């Protein structure tokens, strides 16, 4: 990834920063310049909590070369608590143990390594929440 793109996407990749519409309160991820609901241009940065539930998922058995070492792995559609739906790779769970409705939380993990001696790219993945707090 080139340096300008890396810096432009860093908040989105590491802090799960989306956007919130000042007019209607709609939350988007990735961030948008226009609200998809009311078409307002009054958007502000919004940091998502990174907790949600699996809406749907698939298990990848044939992956691009860059992810060959990871197969099989699971990619899920996740409904976040704030209402946004995102796509993310799951981690810390066997693909056979994944289920729809499972509570998950965001973690930062290695996404891939660019060649044997290349830079390592990190970003968000989601893992199961093993214990839930009664107060949250």
Question: CATH no. for residue 102?
Answer: 2.40.50.840
Structure confidence at residue 7 (pLDDT): 45
State the total domains in the chain. 2
Q: Specify whether 121 is located in the same domain as 55.
A: yes
Its pTM stands at 0.80
Percent of the chain residues topping a pLDDT of 70: 84
Claim to verify: residue 27 and residue 82 sit in the same structural domain: no
Q: How far apart are CA 119 and CA 102, in angstroms?
A: 33
For residue 10, being part of any structural domain is answered with yes
Say if strands 85-89 and 43-47 run parallel, antiparallel, or are unpaired: unpaired
DSSP string covering 57-94, please? EEEESS--GGGGGG-SEEEEEEEETTS-EEEEEB-SS-
Residue identified by tokens 């792995």 is: 73
Tokens 């290349």 belong to which residue?
A: 118
Full residue range of the structural domain in which residue 97 is found: 49-130
Whether 11 and 53 map to the same domain: the answer is no
* 87 in Cβ contact with 60 (< 8 Å): no
Question: Tell me: the pLDDT tens digits for 31-83?
Answer: 999 999 999 999 999 999 999 999 999 999 998 887 888 889 999 999 999 99
């Amino acid at each position: 990834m080139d340096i300008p793109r890396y810096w432009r996407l860093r908040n989105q990749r590491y802090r799960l920063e989306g956007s919130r519409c000042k007019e209607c309160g709609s939350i988007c991820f990735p961030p948008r310049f226009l609200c998809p609901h009311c078409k307002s241009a009054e958007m502000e940065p919004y940091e998502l909590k990174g907790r949600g539930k699996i809406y749907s998922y698939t298990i990848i058995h044939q992956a691009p070369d860059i992810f060959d070492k990871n197969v099989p792995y699971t990619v899920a559609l996740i409904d976040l608590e704030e209402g946004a739906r995102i796509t993310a790779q799951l981690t810390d769970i066997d693909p056979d143990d994944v289920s729809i409705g499972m509570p998950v939380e965001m973690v930062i993990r290695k996404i891939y390594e660019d060649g044997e001696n290349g830079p390592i790219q990190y970003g968000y993945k989601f893992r199961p929440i093993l214990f839930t707090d009664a107060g949250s």
